[in-house]
Amino acid sequence: MNKMKLLPVMAYRGVKQNRLVYRPYLLACFFSVFSYYLFSSLLHNDLMERLPKAAYAWMMLSIGKGLLSVILLLFLLYAGSYLQKRRKRELGLYSLLGLERKHIGILLFWENAGMYLVSVSAGIILGFVLNKLMFLLLLRMSRLQVDVVFYFSVEAVVETLRYFAFVFLSVYIRSLWGFCRMKPTELMSESRKGEKEVKRVWLWSVIGGILLVCGYYISVTSKLDSMIFTDFFLAVFLVVLGTYFLFTSGSVAFLKFLKKRKYIYYRPANQVTISGMLYRMKKNAAGLSNICIFSTMLLITLTCTVTMWVGMDQIAYYDYPYDLQAAYSENSDVMEKAWEKAEELSEKYGQGIARLDDYHAMKLDCGKQEDSNVFTSAAGLAFADQYDVTLLTLDDYNRLEGESRSLKENEVFLYATGTPFGFDTVNFMGVEASVKDEPERIYPYPQAKNRMFDFISQYVIVVKDKAALDRFVTAWAKMNGVTDLEGFLHSGTRELCLLLDGNETERDAYIDEWSEWCQGQQDFLRLENGLEGRDEDRAMNGGLLFIGMVFGILFFVCFLLIMYFKQVSEGYEDQDSFGIMRKVGMSDEEIRAAIRRQILLVFFLPLAGALLHTAAGLVMVNGLLAALRFFDTALLIRCCVSVSAVVAVLYAGSYMMTAKTYYRIVRK
């Protein structure tokens, strides 16, 4: 009974005596609870259900919460393994002094229970305090306007308590299993052991290199099609696996190769450095691979977040180039009254008119033979293989672009928003025409700046006149089995499109009144509000930005914590190594120089690997952002370089901070 009363006190003293490793672990648990509670409280906030266009942000938060649950569980299990490694010698000593296994199990239970209570209490309190601030930040990123009131979610608290009870129970079971399967004498020496050296290092090095090359190849050659997300996860899996093999096997194989080269190895500085690094890589390569992977995740996440934040308006205006677009039947005379009404509203609301366009458009679904100039029927084709083809007359094109160009019979202009068409002639459902030119732009159809993405391509074919347009439409109708040819020839629409240039606060009122006027005109068919469409895009992308920001901070905390644990564990291991080096005649200055080279090389290898992974993955990131209608590759590269520079500085600063702990331990 006395032992049972003593166990909670022993658990508290054990944590206190090992505060050097428990303090950062508790901070990580505290931040994990805060992050999870934040997502949960936002999802349970009643305002998320009432906000206009907030469904997209809610969907993004739900996905982010699911990913966060998996990442936090794996990370805290991994971090917990470092703690138990430091405690095994102490637990082995307890066993030798008479504590039974059940007592050790209860001791570990009290430790985990105490950390659970402290972590969830601090995390939920901080989340409670910052809940309104974080909700305002989400609204700011999503550009949703609402008056925010204070809201406390009991459901979010219960959900957080339940999830982290499962996490800490998993950590407890793992630590208990690691203790129960070892004898006390094994526990005494276990704390000084690192990860086991992988056998057949040359074989696994080659396999790691092959996996890494395959992952890079998939990333670099991936296309924006229906398989882009499958390719992304496959590339990530191969790169993670290849990184692990190369750090655990490839680095050891390379150092062994250098050790066998006498002209390299048998030099004082090289001998100490290579031997020390070989020892470190054998023991700690798995942890370094995790630092590399988390650093890569941090770089990719922040690059995507910063790029989307800078390019959000570009994304919104790609899908909605006009503030309002109204469609009428082909013979409508609405344009004659449109300018008068537009100018009247312009004076009323103080809005400038950037564009007021009127054109006749015939939009058709088509297929296209790969690497050819032939357009075919879209019947039976997958969505990814279908293209929108819009037919315009030369008069409409000249009016839209403010030009006075001309075409001969059987000549067309052919414009592509994605990959350039690249042929001198076009075969449209059997109708042959000569491509006189590929224009640089046609306003209502924005063009991807890098023009790499065939998946999102639209084509605009500008023909000489109405007779030529009817010839193309007739060919399409016959190819697709249209029976009412006469009715189909007159099924095109007349588009009346407005783009304003003025104060955003008055723009909504202008568009509302303009919408009512458009719908009241004869031959009205449909209306598309570009302002609402852009708001929906921003709501969805704002949710992604918020998730990216939280995950970026999370990945930074993860790799910082792993780096700290490695410095601490290596500091305790190197205490004896310093003594041995002094006994063989090395001065303190030589010892410090050798250790400094080893640590710098070992800890900056993950950063070099992360930068290489990010550079290789940038092509795939470019494709994933293109799926969200972001096509400015130059901006993406600039953001990536800027983020990489900032992360490198943070990495160096984190290394120097954790290195101080290392040297403090070693000097004892």
Which tens digits make up the pLDDT trace of 426-479? Answer: 999 889 999 999 888 888 887 765 545 555 678 999 999 888 988 998 888 888
pLDDT at 594: 62
* pLDDT bracket for residue 1 (50, 70, 90): very low
Query: Per residue in 596-611, pLDDT tens?
Result: 666 666 677 788 888 9
Which pLDDT does position 641 carry in this prediction?
Answer: 92
Closest CA to 662 of 572, 602, 597: 572
pLDDT of residue 580: 65
d(CA 415, CA 455): 15
Give the rounded percent of residues in the chain with a pLDDT score beyond 70. 70
Each residue's pLDDT tens digit, 93-129 = 666 666 666 777 777 788 888 888 888 888 888 877 7
Of the residues 193, 213, 233, the one at which a domain ends: 193
Q: How many CA atoms lie within 13 A of 391 on its CB side?
A: 24
Question: What is the C-alpha to C-alpha distance for residues 149 and 172, in angstroms, rounded to an integer?
Answer: 40
Count of domains in the chain?
2
CA-angle at 464, arms to 460 and 470, nearest 5°: 80
Q: Which helix (H) or strand (E) holds 430?
A: none
pLDDT tens, 564-593?
A: 776 776 666 666 666 666 666 666 666 666
On whether residue 426 sits in a domain, the answer given is yes
376: its two tokens: 């075919």
Provide the mean pLDDT of the chain.
Answer: 77
Evaluate whether 60 touches 157 at the Cβ level (below 8 Å).
no
Q: Which residues contact residue 487 at a Cβ distance below 8 angstroms, ignoring those fewer than 6 apart?
A: none
Q: What is the pLDDT of residue 411?
A: 92
370: in domain: yes
Final residue in a domain of this structure, among 157, 176, 193: 193
Q: Which among 438, 428, 440 is positioned nearest to 469, based on CA atoms?
A: 428
Alpha-carbon span 329 to 491, nearest angstrom: 7
Q: Highest mean pLDDT: which of 192-201, 423-432, 656-665?
A: 423-432
Q: Tokens standing for 94?
A: 């307890």
140 located within any domain: yes
Tokens (6 digits) for 243:
């990184």
Least confident stretch, 78-87, 504-513, 621-630: 78-87
Q: Lowest mean pLDDT: which of 93-107, 402-416, 618-632?
A: 93-107
Q: Residue 315: inside a domain, yes or no?
A: no
Q: How many other β-carbons are positioned within 10 Å of the β-carbon of residue 596?
A: 13
Instruction: Note whether residue 242 is domain-resident.
Output: no
Closest CA to 323 of 622, 53, 534: 534
Q: For residues 303 and 555, give the distance between their C-alpha atoms in angstroms, rounded to a whole number.
A: 13
State the pLDDT at residue 451.
Answer: 44
Domain that holds residue 436: 352-501
201-204 contacts, C-beta under 8 A, 24 or more apart: 201/249, 201/250, 201/252, 201/253, 201/256, 202/249, 202/253, 203/249, 204/245, 204/248, 204/249, 204/250
Characterize 252-289 residue by residue with b for buried, 16 or more Cβ atoms within 10 angstroms of its Cβ, and e for exposed.
bbbbeeebeeeeeeeeeebebbbebbbbbbbbbbebbb
Q: Is residue 393 part of a domain?
A: yes
279 occurs within a structural domain: no
- Boundary-marking domain end, from 471, 501, 531: 501
For residues 594 and 522, the model is more confident at: 522
Whether 385 is in a domain gets the answer yes
